[in-house]
Amino acid sequence: MTGYRTLVRNRDFTILWTGEVVSQLGTATSMFVFPLIAFALTGSAVQAGLPDAALMLGMTAALLGGGVLADRCDRRRVMRAASACGALLYGSLAAAAVLDSLTLTHLIAVAFGTGVATGVFGPAEASAVRSVVTREELPTAISQNQARHHIASLLGGPLGGLLYGASRALPFVFDTVTFAVSYVMLGRLRTDLSPVVRTDRVGWTGLGRELRSDLTEGMRYVFARPYFRTMVAFSACSNLVVNAVFFVAILRLVQQGVHPAAIGVISALAGVGGILGALSAPYIIDRMRTGHLTVLVAWSWVPLIVPLVFWGSPVLIGAMLFVGVFFNPAGNAGAQSYRVAITPARLQGRISSATQFVGLTTMPLAPILGGFLLEQYGARTGTAVLLVATVLAALIPTLSRTVRRVPRPRDWPVLDEELVNQRVAV
């Protein structure tokens, strides 16, 4: 497995990574202020979670179609179209904020549209990463992508708090610009990102039937294999409870009257933990069985949530976010790299979208669940319910032998010598 120093010499991966760091920073900035604005407009903890839920719903709804596009169309064009849509959507929010006409409906609509664009972009990018890196570079490349998310989290919260404190429009202006930067950066990629040429394509008369077949092929592949079935079930449950914990923790600070900039700093601790975790991820992945690492990460949240049942101080919440997110990059990168390594090239987009689709179906419910528990039962009881749910989620990979027995990367099965000896043009 290669390290970060080797990967940095890969021009196209560096361009792809840099462009999305900028774009995700803008999105993190906007998403940080969404619940703050929604709560200010409505005064309701449940309604404050609706924009986040709409983004997750849009992303989930678009993932399967995005996977088909990634396997049928030029991935560069797909990604650039998604970035252009993001710029237009957040530009509309910036204009509404300047005119003092922001509404909850507008926030929800833009969040949903952004989710759709993200759902289309994700499978295309996942396939593009496999095209621009070698098999040996995969774990490090995906670890670096994990760091990208946490860099956005680290800077997005404080930046969002500062921009929102100055003007409601500024976070959305910033996000509009970052989507435009992503669009430009994607245009500089040199790697051929066209799909695998298939000889079984039909004419326009059979296109609808072929699209339906493409759409279901990825899902059939996933559910026919025990490892994939277990991991998507775990992902769906874990995404629901962990994101609900995040939402409850942050909204407790809002209810306590903590300043938005201070909440941003506390949220940034998750980014610090994630970045440090991503830097450590390649070394952890290389030295542990991937299955054992998955189980370890699944249980890592349990001891961190216990203190939140009794206390909700900003320092405690910040520490929980830091430690909890630290372990995630290694677990996610290890599992994702294994999935990519054992998936046939022609199915990369659809398998990526199918696994994400099932894993993310519960995420739109996370902020609503968190808001409901907080509003109806209070912080202590609501957090206790989420603690029990976290334990149940962790049992899913723990009880699966197909997950536990996944070896270290050096012992992963090889589907094709092409994956080992050269970059794959997918």
Model confidence at 1: pLDDT above 60: no
Q: For 148-180, give one letter per residue: b (16+ CB within 10 A) or e.
A: bbbbbbbbbbbbbbebbeeebbbbbbbbbbbbb
pLDDT at 3: 56
Token pair 């202590």: residue: 380
pLDDT at 424: 35
Measured CA angle at 424 (ends 191, 285), to 5 deg: 110
64 token code pair: 């399967």
pLDDT-derived band at 109, boundaries 50, 70, 90:
very high
pLDDT tens digits, one per residue of 292-329: 999 998 998 888 888 888 877 777 887 887 887 888 88
Torsion of the alpha carbons at 296, 272, 16 and 119, rounded to the nearest 10: 60
Return the number of other C-beta atoms located less than 10 Å from residue 10's C-beta. 19
Model confidence at 418: pLDDT above 50: no
User: Mean pLDDT: which of 272-276, 398-402, 412-416 is highest?
Assistant: 398-402
Model confidence at 405: pLDDT above 80: yes
pLDDT tens digits, one per residue of 277-295: 877 887 888 888 888 999 9
Helices (H), 327-364: 328-341, 348-360
pLDDT-derived band at 207, boundaries 50, 70, 90:
very low
Distance between alpha carbon 224 and the CA centroid of its chain, in Å? 25
Q: Report pTM.
A: 0.63
Mean pLDDT, residues 81-89: 92
pLDDT-derived band at 197, boundaries 50, 70, 90:
low
Return the number of other C-beta atoms located less than 10 Å from residue 8's C-beta. 12
pLDDT tens digits, one per residue of 110-127: 999 998 998 888 888 877
pLDDT-derived band at 262, boundaries 50, 70, 90:
confident
Across the chain, mean pLDDT equals 79
86 token code pair: 């993001």
> Over pLDDT 90: what percentage of the chain?
12
Looking at residue 148, its amino acid is R
Q: Identify the sign of the CA torsion 282, 359, 110, 370.
A: negative
pLDDT at 37: 85
Mean pLDDT, residues 253-262: 72
> Could you give the CA distance from residue 218 to residue 127 in angstroms, rounded to a whole number?
14
Return the number of other C-beta atoms located less than 10 Å from residue 105's C-beta. 9
> Could you give the CA distance from residue 18 to residue 21 in angstroms, rounded to a whole number?
5
Model confidence at 98: pLDDT above 50: yes
Mean pLDDT, residues 342-370: 75
